[in-house]
């Protein structure tokens, strides 16, 4: 019996198997790289206000009806269309974003690397008609999802820290 075809088949299967392993390892989740992207997304969701860059803001927020934002007090924003209703306030000449500071930022990922969640303390320093309009020492948490290769925020929760 000629063993050459069997040997040839075994070599081909070995090569295909190795290529599959190499391809999978190349596509594996790079946590350090994704941490940078997620942090940039989080910072953009606040930092857009300095230049009133709505395109930047809307690129990092989930543009669907499931978006949820819980703010201090009783304000709950449900869905992207409701989120956009604040545009008149943010774009008003009376509103000025001064600076923001994020402290103690902690980011975690799901096992498959398609969901991330964060926790931090936020100071969001602004003025309204020249008067302070700040959120200081605010606990800020949220959830992001990687959609079509881009991280978007699906849910945010802001709450005051009792001192």
Helix (H, G, I), strand (E, B) or coil at 71: coil
pLDDT score recorded for residue 2? 67
The length of the chain, given as a count of residues: 163
**For residue 74, which phi and psi values (nearest 5 degrees)?**
-105, 10
What pTM, to 2 d.p., does this model score? 0.81
Average pLDDT of the residues of the chain: 89
Domains along the sequence of the chain with CATH: 30-160 (3.10.450.50)
pLDDT tens-digit series, residues 88-136: 999 999 999 999 999 999 999 999 999 999 999 999 999 999 999 999 9
With H, G, I as helix, E, B as strand and everything else as coil, classify residue 14: helix
SS3 content of the chain, % helix, strand, coil (to 5): 35, 40, 25
Interval 128-138: pLDDT, tens: 999 999 999 99
């Amino acid at each position: 019996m000629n063993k050459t075809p069997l040997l040839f088949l075994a070599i081909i299967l070995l090569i295909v198997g190795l290529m599959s392993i190499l391809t999978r390892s190349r596509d594996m989740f790079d946590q350090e790289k994704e941490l940078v992207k997620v942090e940039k997304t989080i910072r953009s969701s606040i930092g857009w206000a300095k230049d009133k860059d709505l395109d930047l803001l809307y690129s990092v927020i989930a543009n669907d009806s499931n978006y949820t934002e819980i703010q201090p007090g009783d304000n709950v924003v449900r869905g992207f269309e409701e989120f956009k209703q604040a545009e008149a306030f943010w774009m008003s000449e009376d509103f000025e974003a001064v600076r923001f500071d994020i402290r103690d930022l902690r980011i975690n990922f799901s096992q498959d690397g398609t969901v991330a969640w964060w926790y931090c303390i936020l100071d969001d320093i602004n003025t309204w008609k020249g008067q302070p309009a700040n959120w200081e020492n605010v606990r800020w948490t949220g959830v992001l999802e990687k959609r079509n290769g881009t991280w978007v925020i699906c849910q945010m929760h802001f709450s005051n820290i009792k001192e």
